[in-house]
Structure 1
Amino acid sequence: MATTAVRSERFPDLGDEVLFPRLSDAKLAWLAEHGERRTVQPGEVLYEHGARDAPFYVIENGLVEFVDRKPGKDVYIAQADSRTFIGDIAVFTGEPTISACVAVEATDVIVFDRAALRDMVARWPEMGELVFRTLLARREWHEAEGHGVMRLIAPRGSRRAFEVRDLLERNLLPVRWYDIDTDAESAALLDWLDIPRSETPVLVHATEVMRNPSAAQVARSLALRAEVDGERFDLVVLGAGPAGLASAVYAGSEGLRTFVAEAWAPGGQAGTSTRIENYLGFPTGISGTALTRKATLQARRFDAVLSSFHRAVELADGTEGLVRVDLDDGQHVLARSLVMATGARWRELQAEGIDRFRGAGVYHAAMPTDVERCRDEDVIVVGGGNSAGQAATQLASRARSVRVVVRGKALKSTMSHYLIDRIERSSNIEVSTETELVAVHGSATVESASLRDRGDGGVEQVACTAVFVMIGADPCTEAAAGMLAVDPGGYLLCGSGAADCDSHLCWPLTDREPHLLETVRPGVFAAGDVRSGASNRVAGAVGDGAMVVRFVQEVLAG
């Protein structure tokens, strides 16, 4: 099929110092001394859309254009000229680039591959800060303009599309879901590609088209999983929530070779938060997505290996005192030390119809796209904790009405005061206490729910298009079964709890006590929500992750 070229009507201004900072003579001279100088010819591709190994370029003289590749169409979206730099944040993260870069004229460039760029950033922090800030700003510009964003085409009620979208969004890969029933352009694209509706969802990434892909197929196509079979690490971290990412950042900064295996996507439950308002250093709050993006970039900057959609299935004693970690794709790694930062998973609500509508109206997180899809709709949030409060207030900005369903008598014992105050000030949020959701109803998607008064037993059926379930969580400790001891709630025992454990899984050493966050297995630690006595706050999890690295160093030096 022929490819047509289209020029965007909204090129960014080359004088924009945020997107195209100008480099001084001194900076250019230093970069030229430490990079590889070369000349690219008109029409030469510097890096392709979807590339995973794109270099970083400094333009000394010349002009280049950025191109959003689409099936049958190249959209020219921006230009860059002399005395600035080009590249994609993917040069740090290893994810696919979201546009191509092509030389318009003969252009003199200074080239840095990934290793050289990381070395440059480490040696020159001021320049590194400018590079990070600029590449993040460009990624935000791409996403805001809709350039390079993956297109997911499916009916609104598609559970498989929901799973794919959740995987991509949570892994910080830009994607937009287009409802085939309401978006004429997407329907026309499927006709042009000769793809029947029965083969949706369809995922379009640059010029690649995936028909009815599973989350596993998408993860494999985008290489979300790292290839690490048989490798040995100073530290293996299981889980990439706030605790796991903090462990990776601090371990990497101390020179420890670190591998992070995450079962689904970085960020944990905090990554789904629309806004965290009580986290130190962010007076106006920060979204879970933004915090996760910054933390993953920071971890990768210190050479931590992050692997998503990669679940640990079993821990076992390896040779030389190492811990063997078996992963769900058949790979395994060996760890000199290990941090369990697997967090907790949302509890499932026991109500009629819940399983049928999971991903088609029943959700466990209010991601930005979920909030937007609830515009002018009636929705229900089940739960009385901070996550439920954050979801309710964010949904209220778009939804016609939000009903918060709580089993208890009041929110004040389970939710932070600032969220309660915000809920009380919202005219379109209603709180139903001493109430439980007992059923959801609908055809293809949720259309209504039944609520039961726990006092008189009366049942009310209310119209709604989405139910967000946030009723607490259970620890994720399956991989450690048979190796690590837990408390009655299933949380990992650490420190004095591990020392005092009198089960068959007990602390084996007589020459020292376990460290504060160390489990019954020497060299294996727990951080964040998975450990007994955790604070269940983002800041507490980050504190655990930072603290545990000091204990890891002591054990490794031991």
Structure 2
Amino acid sequence: MGHAAILTVDDDPSVSRAIARDLRRRYGEQYRVIRASAAADALQALKEIKLRGGRVAVMLADYRMPQMNGIEFLEQAMDLFPNARRALLTAYADTDAAIRAINVVDVDHYLLKPWDPPEEKLYPVIDALLDAWQATGDRELEDIRVVGHRWSEPSYQIRDFLARNLVPYRWMTSDGPEGRRLLEAAGCGPEAIPLVVTADGRAMARPSNQEVAEAAGLSTAPGRDFYDLIIVGGGPAGLGAAVYGASEGLKTLLVERQAIGGQAGQSSRIENYLGFPDGISGVDLTTRARRQVGKFSAEVLNTREVVGMRADGSARTLRFADGGEVSAHAIVLATGVAYRPLPAEGIAALTGSGVYYGSAATEGPSCSGEDVYIIGGANSAGQAALFFSRYARSVTLLVRGDSLESSMSFYLIQQLTQTGNISVRTRSEVVAAHGNGHLEAITICDGKDATQSTVGCGSLFVFIGAEPRTDWLGDAVARDERGFVFTGPDLLSNGNRPAGWDRDRDPFYLECSVPGIFAAGDVRANSVKRVASAVGEGAMAVTLVHRYLEAQ
């Protein structure tokens, strides 16, 4: 197919020539630079590339163009090359308008004109866009095919695992023509669902997440037995620690049992994270962080569950569920938290079949025309309500408290108020879920007068509280009564160091009750439950790891 293309369109001839010249100077040997002076010409060029089976890596469009502006052009261009990275060219006077318009087509960046010198203002942006494109390629989302049923919990688990790990796949129902053909070709019946068919034609009936991960090319085995630093958990805190650890020369391993990104990776849009004034989705933030982790050569270990930890002299050892072990000089615990199970009648039986914990973005299109209910009053619940409002007929947020003000950010409350098909019911709790094979209705108790009502419900998403994933630690490190890990000053009782502490110093701020083991992010007792603070603690933990290693 030849070189992939970088396409630029600008109706100002001098600007068009200048950017094409600068792009060819830097990227001409690896990419084909195509220049157009009108949006219609650029669309025609894209159609010809598509017909010839070519690829487009980056599209740059002027914001102000006659007949069709840059936003309108990129909307149409995305239909032809949805994986190409997109940027707007804009004058300083149009910056605010361009930023507001970015959300319309999920533009990756905007470039101010003029961009001199290109080495500082143009090339770093294009390099980042090309890196992002190369990470996803220009593949159709059908490398892996999944045959299942919407109301099958194992089918949902496989889809959710693939989506959260950014693995392209194509979903087909077991009662549809393509699904039936695949089941027949694999010699399987409906009892085999979910059926996963890899790009090379290998069929796997009801596979485990680890089998799917291996088939998708995700790493599931460590490359060595000993590391400088092992991080348990791939959420914002773990990713922050991995980036800083590897970038500072530590041989670093990140272990994640389910999906890189953690709960933050499920957020439809995070709008209060520094540096992203237009917001960023959890998937995009995770994708960028994962690329950084790879850039600095940190290893990522997928679908491996850690079940134990011990100190072996100066080494710190983790034990996996399959009996394998891996050791390091230091360990950072960044396992985050899990949503607390909803203690209501019928919920457990319908989990994965209409009842979901977290945003479950894979279910968005399936909720089209349905009445969706969301339980919770924190930011994650508000973000989910906005996301599902794009698909559902109605979204009802059920909040146990008297209002949202004490638990949700003000900007989110404003957005919920301004969205017509979202309603909020305070002092309300779900006490039962009903359905035959899948969720059909829920019973809500109104705390104002203790009355109960049963309403039809297609999907229920639960965001109640948070529990740390620390049962596997046992007595290895000190934890509070809820399981959160004590660190630093919280370990000192009346000025006394924790029992068994064998260092002539107090524990470092993020250090646990065992020297060389640190905790960062939501799993830490008394931490601030925000993405930014988790990333910061991950970075801080690496600084303290260096101090620990220097003192060894």
**Fold match, TM over 0.5?**
yes
Q: Show the counterpart of 2:353.
A: 360
Q: Show the counterpart of 1:215.
A: 209
Deviation at 1:544, TM superposition (A): 0.3
**One-letter amino acid of the counterpart of residue 543, structure 2:** R
**One-letter amino acid of the counterpart of residue 54, structure 2:** Q
For the residues of structure 2 that align with 1:76 and 1:267, how far apart are their CA atoms?
37
For the residues of structure 2 that align with 1:503 and 1:446, how far apart are their CA atoms?
53
For the residues of structure 2 that align with 1:267 and 1:494, how far apart are their CA atoms?
23
Q: Is the 8 A contact 1:498 1:506 kept in 2?
A: no
For the residues of structure 2 that align with 1:306 and 1:140, how far apart are their CA atoms?
17
For the residues of structure 1 that align with 2:479 and 2:410, how far apart are their CA atoms?
32
Q: Show the counterpart of 2:129.
A: 133
- Structure 1 pair 490/503, CA: closer, same or farther in 2 (3 Å)? farther
Q: Show the counterpart of 2:369.
A: 376
**One-letter amino acid of the counterpart of residue 409, structure 1:** D
Correspondences of 1:89-488 after superposition (within 5 Å): 130=126, 133-137=129-133, 142=138, 146-181=140-175, 183-208=176-201, 209-228=203-222, 231-319=225-313, 321-488=314-481
Correspondences of 1:532-551 after superposition (within 5 Å): 532-551=525-544
For the residues of structure 2 that align with 1:513 and 1:447, how far apart are their CA atoms?
56
- Choose 338-347 or 455-464, whichever is displaced more: 455-464
Deviation at 1:458, TM superposition (A): 1.4
Question: Pick from 2, 10, 16: which aligns with 2:7?
Answer: 16
Q: Show the counterpart of 2:78.
A: none
TM-score (structure 1 length as normaliser):
0.76
- Structure 1 pair 348/15, CA: closer, same or farther in 2 (3 Å)? closer
Deviation at 1:128, TM superposition (A): 8.7
Q: How many residues align?
A: 461
Q: Is the 8 A contact 2:141 2:170 kept in 1?
A: no
Q: Is the 8 A contact 1:262 1:310 kept in 2?
A: yes
Q: Is the 8 A contact 1:230 1:334 kept in 2?
A: no
Q: 1:63-98 deviations in whole A, cap 9, x for unaligned?
A: xxxxxxxxxxxx9983369xxxxxxxxxxxxxxxxx
Q: 1:338-379 deviations in whole A, cap 9, x for unaligned?
A: 111011111000111111111111111224322121111111
Deviation at 1:147, TM superposition (A): 4.2
Deviation at 1:210, TM superposition (A): 2.0
| SS of alignment partner, residue 78 of structure 1 | coil
- Structure 1 pair 178/27, CA: closer, same or farther in 2 (3 Å)? closer
Q: Is the 8 A contact 2:159 2:362 kept in 1?
A: no
Q: Is the 8 A contact 1:499 1:506 kept in 2?
A: no
For the residues of structure 2 that align with 1:330 and 1:223, how far apart are their CA atoms?
22
For the residues of structure 1 that align with 2:52 and 2:540, how far apart are their CA atoms?
45
For the residues of structure 2 that align with 1:131 and 1:452, how far apart are their CA atoms?
54
Deviation at 1:129, TM superposition (A): 6.9
Question: Pick from 78, 88, 93: which aligns with 2:53?
Answer: 78
Q: Is the 8 A contact 1:14 1:80 kept in 2?
A: yes
| SS of alignment partner, residue 322 of structure 2 | coil
TM-score (structure 2 length as normaliser):
0.77
RMSD: 3.2
- Structure 1 pair 506/311, CA: closer, same or farther in 2 (3 Å)? same
Q: Is the 8 A contact 1:247 1:545 kept in 2?
A: yes
**One-letter amino acid of the counterpart of residue 258, structure 1:** T
**One-letter amino acid of the counterpart of residue 178, structure 1:** M
For the residues of structure 2 that align with 1:310 and 1:13, how far apart are their CA atoms?
37
Q: Is the 8 A contact 1:498 1:518 kept in 2?
A: no
Q: Is the 8 A contact 1:142 1:148 kept in 2?
A: no
- Structure 1 pair 439/234, CA: closer, same or farther in 2 (3 Å)? same
- Choose 201-210 or 297-306, whichever is displaced more: 201-210
For the residues of structure 1 that align with 2:492 and 2:320, how far apart are their CA atoms?
29
Correspondences of 1:502-517 after superposition (within 5 Å): 506=499, 508-509=501-502, 511-517=504-510
Q: Show the counterpart of 1:123.
A: none
- Structure 1 pair 217/366, CA: closer, same or farther in 2 (3 Å)? same
Q: Is the 8 A contact 1:247 1:546 kept in 2?
A: yes
For the residues of structure 2 that align with 1:471 and 1:147, how far apart are their CA atoms?
33
Deviation at 1:495, TM superposition (A): 1.1
Deviation at 1:192, TM superposition (A): 4.9
| SS of alignment partner, residue 265 of structure 1 | coil
Seq. identity, %: 37
- Structure 1 pair 212/22, CA: closer, same or farther in 2 (3 Å)? farther
Deviation at 1:140, TM superposition (A): 5.6
Q: Is the 8 A contact 2:142 2:170 kept in 1?
A: no
Deviation at 1:187, TM superposition (A): 3.2
- Structure 1 pair 193/476, CA: closer, same or farther in 2 (3 Å)? closer
